[in-house]
Amino acid sequence: MRFARSTYPTPQLIDNMKTPAPSLWKATFAIVRKDLAAEFRSFELVSAMLVFSLLVIIIFNFALELNIEVRKTVNAGVLWATFAFAGTLGLNRSMSVEKDRGCMDGLLLAPVDRSAIFFGKALSNLAFMLVVEAIVLPVYSLLYNVNLLRLDLVGVILLGSIGYTSVGTLLSTMSAQTRTREILLPILLFPVAMPVLLASVKACSGLLAGDAIEDILTPLNLLIVYDVVFIAVAFMVFDYVVEE
């Protein structure tokens, strides 16, 4: 006579049920590791952003070659135009891949706070953008004969990149749910990110012109406030954004 298997939970199953969910930062860095490992296998995203950035600065280099004086005054604008367009390309691709491959559904089913998804994607997008910027800055310095490898300038670029990727990650998550995400993301992102772009251009222009830190405190304060506010807003509303 064969007895039916007991349906009561075993001690091992009870221990597994009692296992706490991963903490916010542990889940965040797990997502970052996943994105970095996937990118290092293919280099699809970073290579596209890098090629696009190099093409933009080369085109501007030939366009501004005739007027040296104008060329000196537009360095910050050209630099941030390059970063903004390349960053938009990376943000769009980063979230659309998650949606198309069904990875976003798996992340939403994970027993973690959904804000960990935002922080993980924002940090990975920031890492990709910083890698591109680290390659673009020496190339730009060589083509335009200007020293961009300065600690103060790098700090401003870092602040601007944090704000841009923070709001970009939130809006790219929203636009990834639509069919026209390639068109919708720039329409949503550029008006919202305009303060951080203008402040970054203003601060970088002041530093390249030789101004002291005291002379660019207003755009620096705007960058810091923008970063803090939009990171807090994204933390609060991301749970509602990803709900279908």
What pLDDT shows up at residue 163?
Answer: 93
Look at the chain and report how many structural domains it folds into: 1
| pLDDT 10s digits, 43-60 | 888 888 999 999 998 888
CA distances from 142 to 61, 73, 130, 149, 241 (A): 11, 17, 19, 11, 43
pTM as predicted: 0.84
Residue 203 is assigned to a structural domain of this protein: yes
- Amino acid at position 96, single letter: S
What is the distance between the alpha carbons of residues 100 and 174, in angstroms, rounded to a whole number? 14
Residue 121 is assigned to a structural domain of this protein: yes
Q: Which domain holds residue 135?
A: 23-241
Measured in whole angstroms, how far is the alpha carbon of residue 65 from the centre of its chain?
A: 31
Tokens of 114: 């959904």
Residue 9 is assigned to a structural domain of this protein: no
CB 219 within 8 A of CB 200: yes
The residue-averaged pLDDT of 61-90 equals 82
Residue 8 is assigned to a structural domain of this protein: no
Residue 13 is assigned to a structural domain of this protein: no
pLDDT band at 2 (very low <50, low <70, confident <90, very high): very low
